[in-house]
Amino acid sequence: MKSSPPPQQPYHHGDARNALLRAASEILETSGAAGLALRQLAERAGLSRQAPYNHFADKQALLAELVKQGFERLGADMKAAADSDLPPVARLTKAGASYIAFAQQTPALFRLMFSKELVDVACYPKASGAAEHSFAQLCKIVAALTSPETVADMSLVAWSLVHGYATLCIETGLEGPEHRADRAALFTRAVLGSVQP
């Protein structure tokens, strides 16, 4: 009696999706988002040309996943600062230094996360959710420093200062990592005085 062939296994190459995302992160930092092509990505990951399409609808969906992962990493850094045993002021300084470090260590990813032209985060609920969670961690830190009425304003000031500085550092070479801790402390002092009557 002839046995029937075993059912076909679903496509699998170890962990192909994560292999693609790792390769995409590497290409992003060396070539930028414009230089990231799905065919090149498959080759870098050691997969077939079709492999990226088994996991991502198109290039923008892939970029949105990188954005989500970026905000998850940033959110984890902010949460570590928010949940630390440091005094509230030192938590804000730690969060600022972590934000600057993230931008300096992964500048292409940082640019992508805040570039609506490349990825409209609003179209990807998981990515936008990760961004909101990251900002919520900053608000949690700020809430320990001010009244409930001024948390939103103070958080906006804190984010704007550190984001602007981080952007200047990676786009113009304003200052190197050796200034990170001092600048984070400076911005904390500025934020603390930002909502005084």
Residue span of the structural domain in which 123 resides:
67-192
Domain total in the chain: 2
Q: Do residues 52 and 71 share a domain?
A: no
Q: Is residue 1 a part of any domain in this protein?
A: no
Q: Do residues 157 and 108 share a domain?
A: yes
- Residue range 37-42: average pLDDT? 90
Q: Do residues 139 and 169 share a domain?
A: yes
Q: Do residues 29 and 73 share a domain?
A: no
CATH number at residue 49: 1.10.10.60
pLDDT tens-digit profile of 117-171? 989 999 999 999 999 999 999 999 999 999 999 999 999 999 999 999 999 999 9
pTM of the predicted model as reported, rounded to 2 decimal places? 0.89
pLDDT tens-digit profile of 157-185? 999 999 999 999 999 999 999 999 999 99
Angle between the N-to-C axes of helices 151-172 and 180-192, in degrees from 0 to 180, rounded to the nearest 10:
150
